[in-house]
Amino acid sequence: MGPHLIARDRLFFDRFQYCLRVGLAEASALRGLKGHDAIDRSIEIRRVWRSLSSRTDLEITDKHIKNLHRVHDHFFSATNEPFKMTVSGHQIWIYTNNLEFLHSFNQLPGVIWPTYSQAVITRPLDTVQLRNPQHTRRTYLRKQTITADQRQRLQNFFNNYHDSIRLSPSLNKWVMYESGRRIFDYYFVDHDDDGWLVLLSLLHPGLIRKTMEIIADK
């Protein structure tokens, strides 16, 4: 079975065609690929923290550490191809143009639940494709934490323009119901006129991350 095809306007990180997501116990200890000593220090800190919190359900075994060492070494010994790795919790994402490297990585001890993806460019760069678009532009916000006063001003601002713009479901929920002060980079606004973007920039400088053209799905 081949990789899951993902329609995009660009390759992963603008350069990689393939992605492999796998599970690996304590994968985040690999962050930065700084060597066995760095892995061991990270694991020791986790063991201490978990012992203090009595979290016996997440015991880190010597086998887990050995698997982390093997995965670390594989990145440097198995290929000369460029790659990018990201980690979070017990998961790893590997991006590369070398599918054989991903297959070999998938055979390492401790690696589970592999999912392959392939970026397929189906639309022009910096565009969003929708089936029935109601607007022509999509603007993404920049991730940040704001003050209570800034939140209130933004809430009032978006409410004043609700007839002419469309907030993403998560941003709409944040504006209408939530009291949190964190803005995430997946919040977006669909719109036509860019004039309100100028006002938003004046109200909250640095909030706008990028604006993309919306095109119809043919």
Report residue 33 as tokens. Answer: 């690929």
Catalogue all structural domains in the chain, each as residue range(s) with its CATH number. 4-121 (no CATH), 127-216 (3.30.70)
Q: Is the pLDDT of residue 178 over 80?
A: no
- For 106-130, the pLDDT digits (tens) are 899 999 999 999 999 999 999 998 8
User: What percentage of the chain carries pLDDT values higher than 70?
Assistant: 96
pLDDT of 47 strictly over 90: no
E-strand stretches of 81-181: 83-88, 91-96, 112-121, 127-130, 137-141, 144-145, 166-167
Q: What is the pLDDT of residue 1?
A: 65
Tell me the average pLDDT of the chain.
91
pLDDT tens digits for range 1-19: 679 999 999 999 999 999 9
pLDDT at residue 136, rounded to an integer: 94
What pLDDT does 2 receive? Answer: 77
d(C-alpha 110, C-alpha 23), whole Å: 8
